[in-house]
Amino acid sequence: MNTRPTHYMPTDPLFPLQWHLLNTGNINGSIAGYNINVVRVWPDYTGKGVVLGVMDSGFDETHPDLAENYIQALAWDPLYGQGTATFRSDDEEHGTNVAGLAVASNNGVGGVGVAFNANVVGLRYSDSPDSISTTYARFMEKILDYGLDITVNSWGPMEHPFDYQDEQSALRATQALLTTQGRDGLGIVTLFSSGNDRLLNMNTNYDPTSNLTGAIIVAASDQAGNITGYSTPGASVLISAPGSHPASMITTDLQGEAGHNKNPGEAGNYTDIPGEGFNGTSAAAPVAAGVVALVLHANPGLGYRDVQEILAYSAARFDLIGRVDNLPSFRAETEKDMGQELPDAMKALQAAEGDLLGHSFNSATDWNGGGLMMSDHYGFGRIDALAAIRLAETWTKTSTAQNLTTIGASTQQNAVRVEAQSTVELGSFFADNARIEQMVVAIDLEVGKLLGTELELISPDGTVSRLIDRPLPLTTQLQPIEEPVTKLQTELSSVRHWGENLAGEWILRLTNHSTTEALTLNNWRLEALTALPDTTQIFTNEFGAFAQLQPERTTIKAENGVDLNASAVTAASLLNLSTGQATLNDMPVTLDSPALFRNLTTGDGNDTLVGNGNDNILMPGRGDNSVDGGLGIDVLRLIGVRENYTVVRDTTQSLMAGNQSAGSTLTTNNAHSTVKVADNVLSGGGTDTATQVELLLFRDQVELAHLPGPLGPHAFDEIWYLNDNPDVALAIQQGNLASGWQHYRTWGATEGRNPNVLFNETWYLARNADVAQAVAQGALCSGYQHYLHHGWTENRDPSAWLDNSQYLQNHTDVAAAGVNPLEHYLHYGVHEGRLLTATAFELWS
């Protein structure tokens, strides 16, 4: 029995004050429960093996809560060389604050970081004399050379709207190198803070660092679950994470009297002095980066785009509906601190936004039964570490720069003049049936006054991305801009259309609110960053709440994705693909056309999964679960590697397998035989009891659920064939057939039926067009005939569950004998304890 704890509580003395990790309501202004939901992650994942690079001011490299995880040899300062990135003045604490939130050690001292076993490299840029783009390029070159996994950027150059637009193309070129070359092509995961200038009506699209499409842009929430009044909004914001207001983030500080905390000695080592805590989106970004480190610990094979999508789809957001906007109160606090009122133009724009935080739903169909809820203020919601981890453990694709498709649309190139107090709409059409991740609008716009300019992108389904929102002609110091920007040549990005279908007419709406000045749009370009349509629908713990708000979500349609992933649902789930009966997050739902669904994944509850006549992959997650595969070649998928599990089958024959414990047994294949798989390692792991499953898929290998029955010619499995084809079994019972073998060789092969559990006729023909053509033309009776005579020698795999070349590589005696891997395994290999591995990229297609 698995007795591992489901929570981990650090003993570091400041941990109880770190509300962003566990909020008990004991901090000023906090409400219990509003945290990143991480204590249930730590028993399994702590960031071990993941390395973050923090580009920031100098670091306290000997700090007792950083030194253990700090890689001194890789630290870099362009002025002082490699091996050091130490702080150079007593007010240069920012880098130390940021690093501690991500990776402070779990050592009984101070507090802890989100990923307390990850490593960090300090990269000091405080005194860099170069331009922003040149500096960024130099530092990212180091990060690529070092082979780091994550970069954390709690900085931004913007002093007033669009003041660094000339550096945008260079910054984007550098970011492209990180996504294409980093992590052996998986892409380095980059995070930028959104900025702290909402009070100035700033927007992430005005700053070329906070609208990078290859980066995760992070807004800030507070200890009561609200979005802070200072957090800069924008269509490029992906996620929000704790940043606090008032300042209350407990993290590492410069030791002694330097930094935020001026107390001498050890009392000055942390930001735990009331009123002197760390805050801002500078705090939110490293907290989010820590969650990313946990995600990569759980699944190191994720692409950078996978991480973006996991954070977006797992975020918590329902309770943000109807939240009061904190901007008015923050403005009043600022005016009080300044001893003067803010400019009327600022207050007028802010008053126009209303009293509540805005939100909307896009037209995606793969999140909790419908579209994604999002907002410019918090992106897709507050980061949820546990939900993100559960998705990472069960993720079935690899999304990188290599399989990202950029699609451009034709746009009108003639100059368009927009008179004062008027609006112009321009159309652009996409014919491509692609799934959107991000949209990019490039503009060449001449403006009389930025204050009057509003630019929106509208999808065919009506989702609006506001890209420019009447920028104020003020600096971040509330001073008039000496030379306001009057010509915008820039790219603007949006994540608001994530999951939508690209096809249709898009509208660019340009509104001129000025009463005197005209605008001229010289030209514009629209690009979509897309992927192929996805087959997976994702569900979280918020499904029930959104289903009550929008009851149409309770009908789950196969046309929106035939694979259901409810791994982020912690309550018990029921998914029955035979009857269409289902319950998710305690909400009864209907599976429309259940025979069309294919694969099921559930979460931490005691779940019930029932397959249909398709070849199903069933992955029940943690808990004590019941699995029934039904007809077809069905697979029980497990989270971990084989050695982490105990497998017990109905006992008729003994089999000593390579990674199996003595006495483990297999039964001859029977439709009603049971296999029990107990998780001995993962927290919350229980026992899965499965019937009518043919294969067990572990992270590192494949195993037959039961021994094959007596094999006929060419590894034909009579018992399995009759179990999988009840019409044939009935014909034998009625005396119309002598055997399953008679049926297969006479009719079954040409009907596309499978002869054993390791050959999949449909799969084989789909991946071998020449064979499919030969079968269609009558030159071959089946794909299996081809495999037996030619395919295996041509290194063609019989199914997703047997990698021919890997089997022969692992077992050189089989290769030397010139034996068909499938026939060898079913006749001999399974009895000898030889291992199978699945084909790397074909499991879910």
Kindly state the greatest CA–CA separation across the chain. Answer: 97
Lowest mean pLDDT among 127-131, 165-169, 709-713, 781-785: 127-131
Q: How many CB atoms lie within 10 A of CB 427?
A: 12
Look up the domain containing 558 and give its range: 536-704
The closest alpha carbon to 315, from 370, 363, 360, 374, belongs to: 374
Mean pLDDT, residues 789-813: 94
Q: Which residues of 544-564 are buried (b: 16+ CB within 10 A; e: fewer)?
A: bbbbeeeeebbebbbebbbbb
Q: Is residue 654 over pLDDT 50?
A: no
Q: Quick one: 237 and 90 in the same domain?
A: yes
Q: Is residue 270 over pLDDT 80?
A: yes
Lowest mean pLDDT among 197-206, 400-409, 559-568: 197-206
State how far the Cα of 507 lies from the Cα of 426, in Å rounded to an integer. Answer: 6
161 with 471: CB under 8 angstroms? yes
> What CATH number is given to the structural domain containing 472?
2.60.120.260
pLDDT value of position 661:
32
**Model confidence pLDDT, tens digit, residues 656-679:** 233 333 333 333 445 458 999 999
611 with 632: CB under 8 angstroms? yes
Output the six-digit token pair for 253: 């500080």
The closest alpha carbon to 697, from 536, 836, 538, 807, belongs to: 836
Mean pLDDT, residues 793-813: 94
Q: Classify residue 383 by burial, with Cβ atoms within 10 Å: 0-12, 13-18, 19+.
A: buried
Q: Is residue 630 over pLDDT 90?
A: yes
- Look up the pTM and report it: 0.94
State how far the Cα of 709 lies from the Cα of 670, in Å rounded to an integer. Answer: 9
Please state, for a pLDDT cut of 90, what percent of the chain lies above it: 81
Q: Quick one: 272 and 380 in the same domain?
A: yes
> What CATH number is given to the structural domain containing 177?
3.40.50.200
Residue 758 forms part of a structural domain = yes
pLDDT value of position 843:
59
State how far the Cα of 378 lies from the Cα of 284, in Å rounded to an integer. Answer: 11
Mean pLDDT, residues 531-541: 94
pLDDT value of position 713:
94
Output the six-digit token pair for 694: 């043919």
pLDDT value of position 709:
81
Residue 668 forms part of a structural domain = yes
pLDDT value of position 267:
92
pLDDT value of position 271:
95
State how far the Cα of 85 lies from the Cα of 56, in Å rounded to an integer. Answer: 9
Residue 106 forms part of a structural domain = yes
Q: Quick one: 374 and 413 in the same domain?
A: no
Q: Cis ω on the peptide bond leading into residue 10 (within 30° of 0)? A: no
Q: Quick one: 420 and 376 in the same domain?
A: no
State how far the Cα of 639 lies from the Cα of 636, in Å rounded to an integer. Answer: 10
Q: Quick one: 112 and 190 in the same domain?
A: yes
408 with 527: CB under 8 angstroms? yes
Q: Quick one: 390 and 414 in the same domain?
A: no
First to last CA, the chain: 35
Q: Quick one: 315 and 180 in the same domain?
A: yes
Mean pLDDT, residues 374-385: 97
**Model confidence pLDDT, tens digit, residues 395-410:** 999 999 999 999 999 7
- Cα 317 to chain centroid distance, Å, stands at 16
Q: Please, which residues have CB within 8 angstroms of residue 777's CB and are 6 or more apart in sequence?
A: none
Q: Is residue 516 over pLDDT 60?
A: yes
Residue 449 forms part of a structural domain = yes
Q: Is residue 791 over pLDDT 90?
A: yes
**Model confidence pLDDT, tens digit, residues 715-739:** 999 999 998 899 999 999 999 999 9
pLDDT value of position 206:
95
Q: Quick one: 418 and 566 in the same domain?
A: no
Mean pLDDT, residues 137-141: 94
Q: Please, which residues have CB within 8 angstroms of residue 735's CB and are 6 or more apart in sequence?
A: none
Which residues lie across from 468 on neighbouring strands?
Answer: 455
Which of 704, 732, 761 marks a domain boundary? 704
**Model confidence pLDDT, tens digit, residues 744-778:** 999 999 999 999 999 999 999 999 999 999 999 99
pLDDT value of position 336:
75
Name the domain count of the chain: 4
Q: Is residue 392 over pLDDT 70?
A: yes
Q: Quick one: 111 and 136 in the same domain?
A: yes
Residue 712 forms part of a structural domain = no
- pLDDT band per the 50, 70, 90 thresholds, residue 305: very high
Output the six-digit token pair for 717: 């499995």
Q: Is 672 helix (H, G, I), strand (E, B) or coil?
A: coil
Residue 586 forms part of a structural domain = yes
Q: Classify residue 11 by burial, with Cβ atoms within 10 Å: 0-12, 13-18, 19+.
A: exposed
Q: Please, which residues have CB within 8 angstroms of residue 845's CB and are 6 or more apart in sequence?
A: none
The crossing angle, in degrees rounded to 10, of helices 281-298 and 94-103 is 30
Q: How many CB atoms lie within 10 A of CB 21?
A: 26
The closest alpha carbon to 290, from 73, 542, 48, belongs to: 48
Q: Quick one: 755 and 637 in the same domain?
A: no
Lowest mean pLDDT among 62-66, 555-559, 637-641, 650-654: 650-654
**Model confidence pLDDT, tens digit, residues 471-489:** 887 777 777 777 778 899 9
- pLDDT band per the 50, 70, 90 thresholds, residue 393: very high
pLDDT value of position 265:
93
Q: Quick one: 519 and 571 in the same domain?
A: no
Cα angle for residues 337, 192, 508 (degrees, 5° grid): 95
State how far the Cα of 731 lies from the Cα of 749, in Å rounded to an integer. Answer: 17
Q: Is residue 653 over pLDDT 50?
A: no
Residue 39 forms part of a structural domain = yes
pLDDT value of position 840:
63
pLDDT value of position 332:
81
Q: Could you tell me the sign of the dihedral formed by the alpha carbons of 147, 144, 440, 434, in that order? A: negative
- pLDDT band per the 50, 70, 90 thresholds, residue 200: confident
- pLDDT band per the 50, 70, 90 thresholds, residue 335: confident
Residue 843 forms part of a structural domain = no
Q: Quick one: 675 and 553 in the same domain?
A: yes
Mean pLDDT, residues 560-565: 97
State how far the Cα of 291 lies from the Cα of 16, in Å rounded to an integer. Answer: 19
Which residues lie across from 465 on neighbouring strands?
Answer: 457
